[in-house]
Structure 1
Amino acid sequence: MDRTDQSLIALRRILRATEIYGRKLAGAAGLTAVQFRVLQIVAERGNSTATEIARRMRVSQATVTSLVDKLVKHGMVNREKSQTDRRQINILITERGRETISHAPDALQQRYVRKFEALEDWEQAQLVASLERVAAMLDADDIDASPVLDTGDLRSAS
């Protein structure tokens, strides 16, 4: 097998891993990977704002609003006016949201982060450079993307 085929197989394995995880998460928690990441961010402190979530995920506030709407609908989070600043809306995790996180499959992204951060600095830099090169080869280097392993479109995350 030549290197071109090897590289395409490696890319396909990465895509399949994200698809399989997405299906497992949807089956276990009823959420997409992107929705689950929002839930995790809110759970870290018990509450957050849409602005904080948007900044952490590197997506627009409108995208976060849509994702939070779906989490509210699922009973995972609630919105509440801030006691200190009435203009601010806090997003609070519910008991159901906490249960969902505790019963969800191990996040693919978290596995990646643990293993990536265990690499030597030079190896991390080499891997980042290679992945950025692959994105450029696919004319994807200008696509707006958050640091969430998901094959779905963030704007239509259901």
Structure 2
Amino acid sequence: MIQKKICMLGAFAVGKTSLVARYVHSIFSEKYQTTVGVKIDKKVLTLDDREVGLVLWDLYGEDRFQRVQSFYLRGSSGYLLVADGTRAETLEAAQNIQQRAQEVLGPVPFILLLNKRDLPWEVSEAQIDALRARGWDIRYTSAKTGEGVEESFTTLAKRMLEQS
């Protein structure tokens, strides 16, 4: 079995833990839980007749007082960058996090997940179009409804396999 490490990156309270819970356990909880340090989950999937073990590192959310330490990123084959569509400032934070992640990891695959699609959004189409113009793959997700979650993880896993 091939093992691949994926980091979940993003600002505080964007839904990283909820996305992992939806993907791995098919559950969603309205109760907010702060991630302290890192929480690791695993999921095995089959891609092109190969078993792939995804090791999902759900890292604590960044805020103005705390940044993700680079040693958590090492060994990652890719990452999911998460922003909260209801808080435009998390999209700006995601851009800063992506820049630092790229400095540590180099050009590994990543996807930006604009989460909380089930709620009214603050993020504008112009902001999204500007990132797409830079070559970013952007997906809309809702950990609550499951929209886009499975497809996003599977797409990233396929890209990581192609790169290795």
TM-score where L is the length of structure 1 = 0.25
Q: Which has the higher helix share?
A: 1
Max radius of gyration: which structure? 1
TM-score where L is the length of structure 2 = 0.24
